[in-house]
Amino acid sequence: MSETAPMIRVRELRKEFTVYRHRRGLLGALRNLGSREHRVVSAVDGVSFDVAPGELVGYLGPNGAGKSTTIKMLTGLLVPSGGELEVNGYLPWRERKTYVAEIGAVFGQRTSLWWDLPVIESLELLRHIYRIPPERYRRNLADFRAMLELDAFLDTPVRALSLGQRMRADLAAALLHDPPILFLDEPTIGLDVVAKERIRGFIRHVNAERGTTVVLTTHDLADVERLCERILIIDHGTLLFDGPLEEATPATRRASAVLPGMWLLGAVVSIKLALHLIPVLLLSYGYFIDELYYLAASQLLAWGYVDMPPLVPAVTALLRATLGDSLLAVRLLPTLAGALTLG
């Protein structure tokens, strides 16, 4: 870790939600009035990490792992239940008005643009909201128009944009005011291969050329392979792995040394593919590959080769980091007894 002060400092961060029990029917409704039984769900449970200035970190985990909850606390949308959190010298939920002017955020399922306005008018509004000097605004807009190819839809209302176009416009909006840190929550979700590569190239550029610190959450492990040197893996609110991506490869190879008969994994996964995943391949190759890795990792855990549950996302990341998309597909798909080699 760099000797300079971290851009993000997280210590024993927790977020708990109270979930009330709901009873159905008339009698159940009456009981709900008189008795408020509830349980406490820990979405984030004791997470600690630092992110250095200029670092690009991947934050991975399955649905419900706590990724988005962490991002919402980092951006000031949620107040932590416990622990310490500091971003660029700010306490996000206490100094929110000042803090949000220092960050950019893109949530793949939502937009920060005005739905009925053309993209260019949304960007003009953001110029006034962030009080961006005219010269800096013109310079940044020119850069983003070139890198993200915005000209084709700058005058199009946001509601009429494709998902890929909207995501490119959201990225431009998030970086218009030159924030030192950018939070990306699944920025490539639902995009085609060309759109994903364009966005990945843009993220690489702002990180390398502008020194922007980037925290990326994603279910697309290809994003991580192409962008991140360091990954954090979270599941059930607990941090399972924090380290350089290249450390995943030796760990997987050590695990493979004690797996007697990896051909059986190929056979089992191939059978499951025939029953479950082949229809998915017709819809989306990327989703198919992700499911393929998840099946392989799940099977290893089911056989007891990993005794630290729940590690499916961690093993999934390690398998993919070692093998890559096409290589694993070639090794698992040809025959039911196809050999799977991790070395």
- Residues 33-83 have pLDDT tens digits of 777 777 888 999 999 999 999 999 999 887 788 888 999 999 999 999 999
What b/e string do you get for 74-107 counting C-beta neighbours within 10 Å, with b at 16 or more?
A: bbbbbebbebebebbebebbeeeeebbebbbbbb
Residue 305: is its pLDDT beyond 50? no
Whole-number pLDDT of residue 298: 52
Which sign does the torsion angle of CA 306, 311, 316, 318 carry?
Answer: negative
Residue pair 48/12 in contact (Cβ under 8 Å)? The answer is yes
Cα–Cα distance for residue pair 48/239, rounded to 1 Å: 8
**At residue 117, what is the residue type?**
L
Is the pTM for the entire model greater than 0.85? no
The listed range with the strongest mean pLDDT (76-85, 109-118, 240-249, 317-326) is 76-85
What is the pLDDT at residue 153?
Answer: 93
Q: Could you read off the pLDDT of 192-205 as tens digits, one per residue?
A: 788 888 899 999 99
Q: Over 90: is that where the pLDDT of 11 sits?
A: yes
Joined together, the tokens standing for residue 199 give 């966005």
Task: Give me the pLDDT at residue 331, please.
Answer: 38
Note the pLDDT of residue 14. 94
Distance between CA atoms of residues 79 and 205, nearest Å:
32
Q: Is the pLDDT of residue 301 over 90?
A: no
pLDDT average, residue stretch 113-120: 93
Provide the mean pLDDT of the chain. Answer: 76
pLDDT tens digits, 131-174 = 999 999 999 999 999 999 999 999 999 999 988 899 999 999 99
Rounded to 5 degrees, what angle do the CA atoms 77, 78, 83 make? 135
Q: How many CB atoms lie within 10 A of CB 228?
A: 24
Q: Can you name the residues that pair with 87 across neighbouring β-strands?
A: 8, 90
HSE-up of 283 (CA within 13 Å, CB side)? 9
